[in-house]
Amino acid sequence: MGIDVLQRNNVRVTGQGKKTIVFAHGFGCDQQVWNNTITNFEQDYRVVTFDYVGAGNSDKTAYSKERYSTLDGYKQDLLEVCASLEMEGFLFVGHSVSAMIGMLASIEQPGLMEKMVMIGPSPYYMNEPGYNGGFERADIDELLDMMETNYMEWAKYLAPVVMQNEQRPELAEDFEHLLCSNDPMIARQFAEVTFTTDLRDQLDKVAVPTLILQTKFDAIAPAEVGQYVHDHIQGSRLIVMEAVGHNPHLSDSDETVKHIKAYLAE
């Protein structure tokens, strides 16, 4: 390949199990969002975390507007990490947009994954007649404009919307810091790709046993979207969690871990 993918994507491998579990972060995040989650799996699994190019401690010089102008670029990151570690038949946990990136990878390479867990997935974030994605086009445009004109103000606005849990303001503060650690230009492009891509026509191609974790209230991916994903992925299972907000692995890691473990143990 001529590039060190493990270095480019800041790949970290921990744990001591024979079976591999991959955790993939969502938009605006990096692999550190999994820190409280993966400690619960390291005894029984080989655990792989990574940063998409442009996020966290990835090699940002590898970022190209062209490659990452669609989710295929991020899917390619995931597939190249898998190839570098010679992984197949592994377990995949993807949060938010990573649920869709993992889905695309599973469709392209059947047999790559044994089971898939989607946390707060959405195949399309915009409302259409008969489909409630959660946002109007004007909402998305406003969000993207805000990212361009005042990125810090955007992060301050978005963090509490994403996290909910008003009685625990430290959650929103931590998430705001995480958002602010991103390169604004890269984050703006990733946001546009995330919020404008429509993958509804891909859901029925998923052949991997899939668990969908939907929180009780999610301002980014509403309950109807979780139900839509469940309805269109054959044989999938939907669990509505007690947790609220779009990042239950940060706000309620115990409940998140419990559901993932129960599903993987079957």
The pLDDT of 145-156, averaged and rounded, is 96
Average pLDDT, the chain: 96
Cβ-based neighbours of 39, under 8 Å, separated by 6 or more: none
Are 124 and 222 contacting, i.e. CB atoms less than 8 angstroms apart? Answer: no
The per-residue pLDDT for 84 is 95
pLDDT band at residue 2, thresholds of 50, 70 and 90?
low
Taking 80 as the threshold, does the pLDDT of residue 258 lie above it?
Answer: yes
pLDDT band at residue 1, thresholds of 50, 70 and 90?
very low
* pLDDT tens-place string over residues 180-216: 999 999 999 999 999 999 999 999 999 999 999 999 9
Q: Which residues are catalytic?
A: 96, 218, 246
What is the reported pTM?
0.97
Taking 90 as the threshold, does the pLDDT of residue 153 lie above it?
Answer: yes
The pLDDT of 83-94, averaged and rounded, is 95
The per-residue pLDDT for 3 is 79
* pLDDT tens-place string over residues 226-253: 999 999 999 999 999 999 999 999 999 9
Question: Which domains, and CATH codes, for the chain?
Answer: 5-125+199-265 (3.40.50.1820)
Radius of gyration of the chain (CA): 17
The pLDDT of 164-173, averaged and rounded, is 96
